[in-house]
Every structure is written in C-alpha cells, then in structure tokens.
Structure 1
C-alpha cells in the first residue's frame, strides 16, 4: 500500500540535484566501498527515489566515476601545481581539500585504488605525483636512487599524514600544514643525509 503521507521529493534545478546525489554518493561509497554500496542506499541518503537517481546517472559505475571526478576537481581547485611538488601551497591545498570533503579525500586516496575498475586511474595519479616530487627532490638529494626512493615515499607520507589528521578530528588546523611539511621534510632529509643514525625512544 502506498503511503499517501509521504513527503514529496522537492524539485531542484538539475545541477543542484546532481550535486546532492554526488555528495550523498561520496559519503556512502567512502563508508561501505564500491561493491557493497547499492544505488538504493545512495538514493535514500540523498532523499530521492532511484528513478530520480537514474535521470542523472546511467549506472553505479557512472556515478562512482563522477564522484571521483568531482573530488579531483576540488583537489585541483586547491592545489594549482602537481600535488607531488609539496611546496607550502600544495600541502595547504591538500589539507583544504581534505577538510572540505573528508569522505571524498578518503575515497580518492584510500578506497578507489582497491576497486579493480578504477585502480588504473588512481595508480596513474600516484605515478604523476611521484614524477612531480622527483623533479623537486633530485635538487636536494644527489644520489639518484635515494632521490627516487624519497620521491615515491614523500607523496604517500603527505597523503597519509592528512588522512591521519582527519581521523584524529582535524586537530590544531592552524598548524596542520607545518606539521605535514615537517613529516615530508623528514623523508627528504633522510634521503639527503650522508650520516643516518637514529633510534626510536625507549618505551
């Protein structure tokens, strides 16, 4: 029996409705992953029917791709240069994008790489950031092998530092950029050093 007391779905401009669906899908995909998230779940989270969802996206794959595109666009808006460069501005951009859409940031850097249909795209993105990092790091690290090691590690460390910052509740946001840069510089310093001696603190 149809519930005649249901609230009718309010009509929105097409662009606004699409953004509503993308925001709901980002949260749902980040929470449950691509395979475990159904279109009915996304429609419910967006407060719409599945019929309305299909007016905007042909399939779950199409929707997931649009979610990733949306997050990449946000990232590019905050990071004008390649993320792998890790200047002050690029680190601040990473943090700004993550704070603006924590679920989208996690989806892009943690979840999408585990999805076979989207893994190739994310791996290419990571390869590009590694190449960008190498262009900068080789100026500070004379040994080419160590420069390539640091170039591969630095972007991963920066992104994981931002995700850890999100997981910790975004503490001390005014100093977050400096803390992430300090972590990244630790990688570069370790690669550049000719006398590496370090011990962890005793428990």
Structure 2
C-alpha cells in the first residue's frame, strides 16, 4: 500500500503536510519519547534527511503535529455561534477524520509536561463553550466549577472510547455523548441528596 506522498514529488507545503500526518501516526503509536525520526521517516516513506529539510528537530515536528491537530479541533468545535451540541458533533467528526491525531493530542501530549499546554488550551476552550449553558442550570459556584472541569473530560474520553470501538455512527455518537453530558450536568445541578430534602 502506498503511503501519502510516497513515490511522487510533492510541493513543499504538500510534503510538509504529508510528514505531519505520518508523524501523527508514528507518535500516536509510540508517544513522543519512544518515537524517533527514523520511525517517522519509515511511516512517511521518506528519508530522515527529507524530514530535516522541513523540521529542525523531533521537537519541532511534534509541535507542528500538535499545532495541526489543535487547528483542526478548533475549526471543528470553535465557531463562536456553536452550541455545546454543535461543538461535540464537530469534535466527533474531527476525531473520525484524524483518529491518530486526536488520540495523540489528548492522550500522549497530556502525559508530557512540555507539551501538555496544547491539550490544556483546547480543554479551556471547550469549558468556555459549555460555560453559558452550565450557568443557566447550575447556580452553586462549586458545582459549576466541577461541571466545567468534568464536561471536557467526559467529551474527550467518550470520543476516544468511540474511536476504540471502531467509530460506529458519528451522528449517534455525538447524540449519545450529548445525552451523557446532559445527564451528568443534571446530576450535578441537583444531586440525589438535594431531592430528598
């Protein structure tokens, strides 16, 4: 099977894009520390020298991969008029389009302190998207903070579980994740103990 960009000359931006995609696959498999540029070169079907024509170091390449995935996710979820549901649907479709990048972004980079800021920034954006909805239904400040922190975690972990299950129906996945999050918000807004008062 021919890999993207293998066996033909690509223009510089196309080659860079193909290298970033190959690096996402290689880093998703092995993580940053265990993956070397030879692994990326093999995945891309190119020489290590070619990688150095585009990136000065493994760190620069990894940063480019994370920035690329971040841009994809922000585009899919970050429209100013998106509701939480639109954002979740965008997240699911973005994960389906780039499953290796999604897993890398949230699983691998979150475990690497020098790169964690990428995932933290996107989680903060997800919190900001959910905040207006949460403020309408949760009036206790501590519970509001709890829900704000929990929503991105539920969304990301649910999408990763969906990817691991083989990506059954993205529309159904988005609806199911929305329902799960809605149930969590309802439970936080009115815990069982408050219902018996």
* Residue 61 (str. 1) matches residue 59 (str. 2): yes
* Residue 74 (str. 1) matches residue 72 (str. 2): yes
Counterpart CA distance in 2 for 1:96 and 1:174 is: 9
Partner of 1:134: 131
Partner of 2:170: 173
Q: CA deviation at 1:159?
A: 0.9
Q: CA deviation at 1:194?
A: 4.9
Output the aligned Cα RMSD. 2.0
Q: CA deviation at 1:196?
A: 4.8
* Residue 186 (str. 1) matches residue 180 (str. 2): no
Q: CA deviation at 1:115?
A: 1.2
Partner of 2:30: 32
1:124-155 Cα deviation digits (max 9, x unpaired)? 43334334433331211111111111111011
Q: Kindly name which structure, 1 or 2, has the bigger radius of gyration based on alpha carbons.
A: 1
For residue 47 of structure 2, the aligned residue among 36, 46, 49 is 49
* Residue 125 (str. 1) matches residue 151 (str. 2): no
1:54-113 Cα deviation digits (max 9, x unpaired)? 00001000000000111111112211337xx86221011000100000000011111101
Q: 2:77, 2:86 within 8 Å by CA — same for their partners in 1?
A: yes
Relative to the length of structure 1, the TM-score reads 0.85
Matched residue pairs, number? 188
SS at 1:12 equivalent? coil
Counterpart CA distance in 2 for 1:156 and 1:101 is: 19
Partner of 1:104: 101
1:29-54 Cα deviation digits (max 9, x unpaired)? 00000000000110111011111110
SS at 1:116 equivalent? coil
Partner of 1:5: none
Q: 1:25, 1:42 within 8 Å by CA — same for their partners in 2?
A: yes
Counterpart CA distance in 1 for 2:191 and 2:22 is: 50
Counterpart CA distance in 2 for 1:93 and 1:28 is: 25
Relative to the length of structure 2, the TM-score reads 0.88
Structure 1 pair 36–86 and aligned structure 2 pair: CA distance change class (3 A): farther
Partner of 1:12: 10
